[in-house]
Amino acid sequence: MTDSRPDPFAPVQLGPVRLRNRVIKAATSEGRSPDGLVTDELIDFHRRFAAGGVGMTTVAYCCVSREAASAPGQIVMDARALPGLRRLADAVHEAGAAISAQLGHAGVVAPKKLTGVTPVAPSRFVNPTSLAFCREIRRDEIRAVVDQFGAAAQVAVDAGFDAVELHFGHLYLPSSFLSPLINRRRDEYGGSIDNRSRFVREIARRVREVVGDRIAVIAKLNMDDGLPGSIWIDEALRTAQLLDTDATLDAIELTQGSSVFKPMYLFRGDVPVREFAQAMPPAMRPGVRLFGRAMMGSYPYEDLYMLPAARQFVPVMRNTKLVLLGGITNREHLETAMREGFHLMAMGRALLREPDLVNRMAADAGVRSRCNHNNKCMVTVFGRTHCVLDPDQRYGAAEPLPNSAESAAQA
């Protein structure tokens, strides 16, 4: 009698790339490129996931231009970054995995203090979290951003990457065009959802023109963002259909939430208000303690918490694979996703806790993630993103661990 259970650890084809299994390490802010360049520490960070068994690891938030940054130390996809990106790709390949670069433009989240320019949005907008004014992006600038995504994708090809992930989620610039709350334009980029989807379709089309069939192209697309009057699933389904009809993408990774307001809608689980307050300048800490929960939102964690929304997209896809994200922590979850019609599965926090989790799940179906969804890893993005329960990730191999013989000798 043959085993009819789906096998998430068997090879799978993603466009021109063959992955050794169906598990993708989701993009999670890294904080290991202080000068905006690949470091040995960033290479070690991704090599751990590759050695730990993932089919592909994703380098988080690579800017398509210097004005596209959302935080300090992010890699800009240009010639200056190319040598380091090649070293990173080689290291991941040597460990047996594929590698993807997440390409993004922060838009309303790009801080002027960092970029030196006023952030842009589809329409004039005030970011409710930072209270920063965002000006309306011009048509010629829209065309320039489309070209910047194409140029960034070419850098990924030149660096030997296997895929790019176009960040169309979380109300960054492409996603904000999809939002009727932010996009109030009266030209061909505003109004109906077909018009509001024009920008992301142009980006995907340009990237595909540039890369051809040399690498895979994925888009990270919001299903909804938890904000009244903004992106919701009915229009997100239409955007996904349009992208699928264009046949410019190999896969869509479905996501939820916003970088503008109530970010816990993406993460679910504990709200680390105290830790966020401690990370802020002293003058801001009382306000964060008082209003942080209201600003961040509070949503209970459930396993596979994005599945109820994501399964709505399965019947409408004809040309494009779907990637499930959100609350995937064990082999049973991976198999459930495959039964539901998803081709690949993305994991974030669980792999931060245990980079070797995929290998262990493949060897033992009873393995369960040790991630307890305390979400304190969110606060570590202000430094080096890591699981707070793993001292090796926090302190790094070159630094002594607390209470070790070496640190005690130095005390």
Question: What is the average pLDDT value for the chain, to the nearest integer?
Answer: 91
The answer to whether residues 150 and 176 touch, using CB atoms and an 8 Å cutoff, is no
Amino acid at 290: L
Rounded to an integer, what distance in angstroms lies between the CA atom of residue 289 and that of residue 275? 9
Q: How confident is the model at residue 390 (pLDDT cuts 50, 70, 90)?
A: confident
pLDDT at position 400: 30
Q: Which CATH class is domain 12-268+305-374?
A: alpha beta
> Residue 243, by phi and psi: left (phi above 0), alpha (psi -120 to 50) or beta?
alpha
How far is 347 from 328, CA to CA, in rounded Å? 6
Of residues 387 and 155, more confidence is placed in 155
CA distance 403 to 357: 27
pLDDT of residue 381: 75
Q: What is the pTM of this model?
A: 0.92
Above 90 in pLDDT, residue 235? Answer: yes
In tens, the pLDDT along 71-97 reads 889 999 999 999 999 999 999 999 999
- The mean pLDDT value for 66-74 works out to 92
- Which has the closest alpha carbon to 342: 311, 304, 365? 311
Per-residue confidence (pLDDT) for residue 154, from 0 to 100: 98
| Out of 30-44, 258-272, 381-395, least confident range | 381-395
pLDDT confidence band for 263 (50 / 70 / 90)? confident
Q: Give the whole-number percent of the chain exceeding pLDDT 90.
A: 75
pLDDT at 9: 97
Task: For 354-385, write each residue's pLDDT tens digit.
Answer: 999 999 999 999 998 888 888 887 777 777 88
The one-letter amino acid code at 367 reads: V
Q: Please give the pLDDT value at position 391.
A: 60
User: Which has the closest alpha carbon to 325: 241, 219, 249?
Assistant: 219
pLDDT at 409: 27
Question: Tell me, what's the pLDDT at 392?
Answer: 63
Q: Using one digit for the tens of pLDDT, what is the confidence trace for 117-140?
A: 999 999 999 988 788 899 999 999
Residue type at 297 in one-letter notation: G
pLDDT exceeds cutoff 70 at 405: no
Q: What is the pLDDT of residue 55?
A: 98
State the pLDDT confidence band at 395, using cuts at 50, 70 and 90. Answer: very low
Residue 137, sorted as left (phi over 0), alpha (psi -120 to 50) or beta, turns out to be: beta
3-state secondary structure of 15: coil
Query: What pLDDT score was predicted for residue 403?
Result: 30
Q: Is a pLDDT exceeding 80 seen at residue 401?
A: no
Residues belonging to the chain: 411
Q: Dihedrals φ, ψ of 16, to 5°?
A: -80, 0
Residue with tokens 């816990």: 264
Catalytic residues: 172
The residue that leads in pLDDT, 397 or 259, is 259
CA 396, CA 408: separation in Å to the nearest integer?
Answer: 17
Q: Looking at residue 393, what is its pLDDT?
A: 56
Give 282 or 190, the one with higher predicted confidence: 190
